[in-house]
Structure 1
Amino acid sequence: MEDQSVGGDLFFILMGAILVFAMHGGFAFLEVGTVRHKNQVNALVKILVDFAISTTAYFLIGYTLAYGVGFFQSAETLVNGADYGPQGLLLVKFFFLATFAAAVPAIISGGIAERMKFLPQCLATALLVAFLYPLFEAFAWGGAYGGQDWLAATFGAPFHDFAGSIVVHAVGGWVALAAVLRLGPRLGRFERGGTGFPPSSIPWLALGSWLLCVGWFGFNVMSAQALDGASGLVAVNSLMAMVGGILAAVVIGRADPGYVHNGALAGLVAVCAGSDIMHPAGSFVVGAIAGLVFVKGFEICQTRLKIDDVLGVWPLHGLCGLWGGLAAGIFGLEALGGLGGVSFLSQLAGSAVGIAWAFAGGLVVYSVIGAVIGLRLTPDEERRGADLSIHKIGANPEAEIIG
């Protein structure tokens, strides 16, 4: 029976890892559909290479910083050692959490699209996933530094982030803001009245959103990391927040397809933190507010603040992630139909630490890399597009042959 239980947990977590890995295809196609045609190849390559670099950095350094366990042991120890669990259970947990870690540079990629050099982005990914992300992960999920104990003693409950509204999404979104500010806007972005550049493909954008939505149920439900901890409440809360985000974006965004498809993601970002403790009706409200936050945040970011965040990753992940961290401390309360065990003040404090750490760390990483080797493509390279300037091939090579 024990062997069956371990095998069930292993398979459960593995399926979650595969679903979240598939989400990276969603990140890629969301970016492909949003950027201009001359930058589509770059979007696809960036996400895949970032995943490879992230997994390597997390394997070598990041996971050990977060949880105090490394992988430089014999295969026998990795499969059956006391620190690794029977049948290599901890190895699939690493795989699952590595897909979370890799989501951070995938989020950032959408903000810095169309003007970032390839090597500096790769270096930033390695530093962020090896050091910046796991150090906050250690605080929130690894029990490090005594921070959670202090919050529990001071405010009555630790910081609660079941599936990463703050740990993954807000961290990625606020690092992205730092990177976007450091890079500056694309050439011509705020000229001619600042109308911006239209998406290259609504169908690709929509496919990216669908892939992310489907994979998100692995992201949230499988965060239990054990079969006996799996909850239908998490699944339904994720569903209700998603549809709440869609409906709010339809109304507030006047049925704009970009807002609608990102509204689904906004709801899912926001529900991650409290998906295990909120009532489905509360999750719907959380998702609807997130849809509002994204639409209005994107408009303000682009038109008033003139921040050239190409995919709107700061409002989508940074602001909606922050809302999700706070919402867990509101709609998770028993008075509002939740399961309780949370404190709004702990949520506020943990969320503030997360976004401050991410924004400050992002500024340091991108400023240092920029000072040493530079960040941006040259104006001529940017006009030509990242596809030809970096990868020497376009999205439709045969059609682009001149002869």
Structure 2
Amino acid sequence: MTRHLVRLTLAGLALAPVAATSTEPAGRLAYLKDGVAWVEGQPGSALRPVPNSRGSVLLDLSPVDGTLAFLTGPPGTNIHAAEVPPLKPFLSAPPYTGSVPLTSLVPGPTFATVRARWLRWEGDGHALIAGTDEGNAGWNTTKRKTFLPNQSALYQSTSRNGAVTALLGSVQSPEDVGVLLYGPGARPGTEVFTRRHPENLMNALRAAPEPGIRKFLGDLDPRAQADDVSWTVTAPKVTQGGGRMYFASNAGYGVGSAGTTTSAVFEVDVRTLRLRVLGWLGTLAGSVLEVLPSPDGGHLLVLLARHDSNARVDTFVYAADLGRRSVRELAVASAPKGTLSILDSACWLADSRQVALSVAYARPQDLNEKNGFEPPAGAYTLFVKDAGSGKTLRRVSGATGVTCGPK
């Protein structure tokens, strides 16, 4: 099973240089630049760094009220290094003219600092979770209490009202290959499928009339399906409204070099628990890294890596319109000769029409253990693209850690 962080080292994301325009993001957009946190899209507010955010290395916008959470550390902090120093959590509410230590809202010495490698809000906007090498740390900002999240917190998602949660794993073990769903009609928990019980997944594939899915079915090897290392499943993502959930899986097709396989995208109706394959999307050759539903639940962003050789790893970014059953390729292959393309982060803006991507190009020989195999932050560029036309609307040099929030 593949379990990717948001930060993904890839090659071949082609985003042609386009002059910056005055187009404003259709929703709040936060990122790291020049060692501080910035938020765009706040109506009537001038663009300025968030107070007290110097040294920020991680951040996330609440999907509910836009509260910005960020972690700061000493100069030179690298969250990809062998050891992360203690990081201090802060919160900044709109219009982001001030920020306070998280301990002022959730008091107590517990988690006053964390050695975190990732940070994110739950979908209902009440819980903030940081992941460390020793375990996860959580703050409930409504109850003003800390808590210990489960180990699979990075690989789960929650609806806006908190009633629906989906995560990788099974009832028997979170390490088992499968998808678990909690919600209306799925209490205390429903296994959408597991490797040991793939009937739902296979029935969904058999019910699809599309030729590409039929060929995919014919190429499945029962011997490979029996081996858990042959399975890949992306972290399931619940729509904000909680009506549907999406993930991609190779159904045990087998995994080749650098995760290369063939996968399909699946949809679950949360109310009926019906699982179906989006056959009109066809199959995806490579390794699907994430499937991200838009805020309105009407579109999907699909991130895919295809490994041809150690010198060539192509990246594909697709925006799928679920209503029209159409797909647009937003970015594809062809990094400058001798370079890799590194996709730092991606998200949908609140209007469900624009997508933000942070990308850098780097020479493989410049990435080493000393710099955590990461290019400098200044090498990245943030692109805001129109998902319908593929047009680049805006870019910000030196921006990383992009996260999207509400209008």
Verify same fold: TM over 0.5: no
| Larger relative contact order, structure 1 or 2 (CA cutoff 8 Å, min sep 6) | 1
TM-score by length of 1: 0.27
Return the structure number with greater helix share: 1
More strand by percentage: 2
TM-score by length of structure 2 reads 0.27
